[in-house]
């Protein structure tokens, strides 16, 4: 009996200690006021910095710029108040800062793969690198040289007489240069070739003019008229047999695309 009582007491003491430890490890979210600048440290090592815009017993909302993140209380290990103009005092648990590259951000891409509406086919792979660093505020989140991958989503080669060439490339991922992190993105480049109506008209006109000159030498006004008709026909035939412009860019060319959705990026704390 005494042995059972001792075991019960031991279990009770252990339970109290575990409860006390859990309470002690709970972040002091209640001590953080709405409007304060904070650094929220998460259990996975992520750090979210910004201004507290809302909080309750389930989550804390932190806003920076135009982006707001909701962080469950259970995912938080610490909340540090940040003094304006001073770096956040982060605990050892902090491994990386979380940033959001907003929808609408432009990416300057340098092609590693040439694209050509006359030779490419749908689903052909396309690779590029960031020609310029992507910044969020004063943080360099995606360095220049980061690899961007995509595929040809649609392509139409140039046709004779009518039908303009076009190509659409969808970029779906970016891998940060010098790091192991990779992110899904949604960005598209599309272009349609210029019309060649002016050039076509010039070809027909040149043909008619040359025919008239030759006909005039051979048979006066009547010969000139016949020559113009023949020459014009020759020019028209040349246009009908000639394909229009293609959309083409060699490797090394620079394109600009725009993000169609936010991209959350993790930058290691060094």
Dihedral angle, C-alpha 83, 86, 89, 93, nearest 10 °: 110
* Token pair listed for 179: 């790091």
Is 260 within 8 Å of 180 (Cβ atoms)?
no
Q: How far apart are CA 253 and CA 63, in angstroms?
A: 38
Query: What phi, psi does 76 have (nearest 5°)?
Result: -105, 130
Among candidate residues 177, 186, 26, 180, the one with its CA nearest the CA of residue 96: 180
pLDDT value at 84 more than 90: no
Is 96 within 8 Å of 47 (Cβ atoms)?
yes
* Token pair listed for 226: 């016949």
For 149-186, what is each residue's pLDDT tens digit? 999 999 999 874 456 999 999 999 999 999 999 999 99
pLDDT value at 218 more than 60: no
> What integer is the mean pLDDT of 90-104?
95
Range in 4-13, 102-111, 175-184 with the lowest mean pLDDT: 4-13
Residue 13: pLDDT band (50, 70, 90) is very low
For 44-64, what is each residue's pLDDT tens digit? 999 999 999 999 989 999 999
Range in 100-109, 132-141, 158-167, 170-179 with the lowest mean pLDDT: 158-167
Strand partners, 76: 42
- Render the burial of 34-58: b for 16+ CB within 10 Å, e for the rest: eeebbbbbbeeebbbbbebeebeee
Q: Please report, for the chain, how many H helices and E strands are present, in that order.
A: 2, 17
- Supply the pLDDT for residue 65: 87
Is 101 within 8 Å of 265 (Cβ atoms)?
yes
- For domain 18-94, give its CATH number from 2.30.30.100, 3.40.50.150, 3.40.50.970, 3.20.20.60: 2.30.30.100
CA angle 66, 71, 73 (to 5 degrees): 150
Q: How far apart are CA 220 and CA 45, in angstroms?
A: 92
| Three-state secondary structure call for residue 194 | coil
Q: What is the CATH number of domain 106-195+245-268?
A: 2.40.128.260
Q: How far apart are CA 249 and CA 257, in angstroms?
A: 15
Is 221 within 8 Å of 212 (Cβ atoms)?
no
- Supply the pLDDT for residue 16: 42
* Token pair listed for 191: 């272009």
Q: Domain limits of the chain?
A: 18-94, 106-195+245-268, 197-243
> What integer is the mean pLDDT of 213-225?
53
Query: Is the pLDDT higher at 238 or at 132?
Result: 132
Residue whose tokens read 């709405």: 34
**18-94 and 106-195+245-268: identical CATH topology:** no
- Supply the pLDDT for residue 15: 44
Mean pLDDT of the chain: 81
Residue 199: pLDDT band (50, 70, 90) is very low
Residue 27: pLDDT band (50, 70, 90) is low
């Amino acid at each position: 009996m005494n042995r059972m009582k001792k075991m019960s007491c031991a279990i009770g003491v252990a339970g109290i200690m575990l409860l006390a430890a859990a309470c002690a490890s709970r972040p002091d979210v209640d001590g953080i006021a709405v409007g304060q600048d904070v650094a929220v440290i998460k259990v996975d090592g992520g750090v979210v910095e910004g201004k507290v815009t809302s909080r309750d017993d389930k989550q804390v909302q932190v806003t920076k710029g135009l982006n707001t993140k909701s962080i469950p209380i259970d995912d938080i290990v610490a909340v540090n108040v940040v003094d304006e103009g001073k770096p956040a005092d982060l605990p050892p648990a902090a491994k990386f800062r979380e940033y959001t590259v907003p929808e609408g951000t432009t990416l300057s891409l340098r092609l590693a793969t040439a694209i050509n509406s006359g030779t490419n086919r749908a689903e052909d792979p396309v690779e590029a690198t960031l020609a310029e660093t992507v910044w969020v505020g004063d943080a360099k989140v995606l360095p220049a040289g980061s690899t961007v991958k995509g595929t040809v989503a649609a392509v139409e080669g140039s046709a004779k007489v009518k039908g303009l060439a076009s190509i659409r490339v969808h970029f779906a991922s970016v891998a940060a240069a010098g790091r192991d992190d990779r992110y899904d993105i949604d960005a598209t480049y599309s272009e349609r070739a210029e019309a060649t109506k002016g050039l076509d008209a010039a070809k027909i006109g040149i043909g008619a003019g040359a025919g008239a000159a030759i006909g005039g030498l051979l048979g006066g006004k009547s010969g000139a008229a016949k020559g113009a008709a023949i020459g014009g026909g020759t020019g028209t035939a040349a246009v009908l047999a000639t394909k229009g412009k293609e959309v083409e860019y060699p490797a090394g060319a620079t394109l600009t695309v725009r993000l169609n959705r936010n991209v959350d990026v993790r930058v290691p704390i060094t």
